[in-house]
Structure 1
């Protein structure tokens, strides 16, 4: 009985980490959308902000990857 309860807790925790992955998707969309809005307002400055775009996407995506790793640890760690 206790083993089943612990396994249920692992799966619930792994499911809750999906919020972290969803937050990363929202973050990437927000970064890309703001870049596009700025690029449409001032196309000549868009080329200079491309590196900043990729850095922002990388930081937002890293949070999703960390969340995914936590989910894997919760599911498969003993």
Structure 2
């Protein structure tokens, strides 16, 4: 019985950590959407901001990868 409760806790924790991957996808969409809105307002400045766009996307995606790895560790670590 005690092992079942521990396994249930692992699955609940993995589910909560897995939600971070979905939230990171929202963050990537937010970064890209704001860049597009700014580029449409001032097209001449858009070329200078593409590096910042890719850095922002990389940070948001890295958080999603960390959340996914945390979920995997919670599910399969003994």
The answer, yes or no, to whether TM exceeds 0.5 is yes
Q: Which runs of 4+ in 1 moved over 2 A?
A: none
Distance in 2 separating the partners of 1:70 and 1:2: 23
CA shift, 1:34, in A, is 0.3
TM normalised by structure 2 equals 0.96
Residue 62 of structure 1 is matched in structure 2 by 62
Residue 71 of structure 1 is matched in structure 2 by 71
Please list every run of 5 or more consecutive structure 1 residues that lacks an aligned counterpart in the other structure: none
Q: CA RMSD in A?
A: 0.7
CA shift, 1:19, in A, is 2.2
- 1:1-78, aligned counterparts within 5 Å? 1-78=1-78
CA shift, 1:54, in A, is 0.2
CA shift, 1:62, in A, is 0.6
CA shift, 1:18, in A, is 2.3
TM normalised by structure 1 equals 0.96
Q: SS at the partner of 1:26?
A: helix
Distance in 1 separating the partners of 2:19 and 2:6: 21
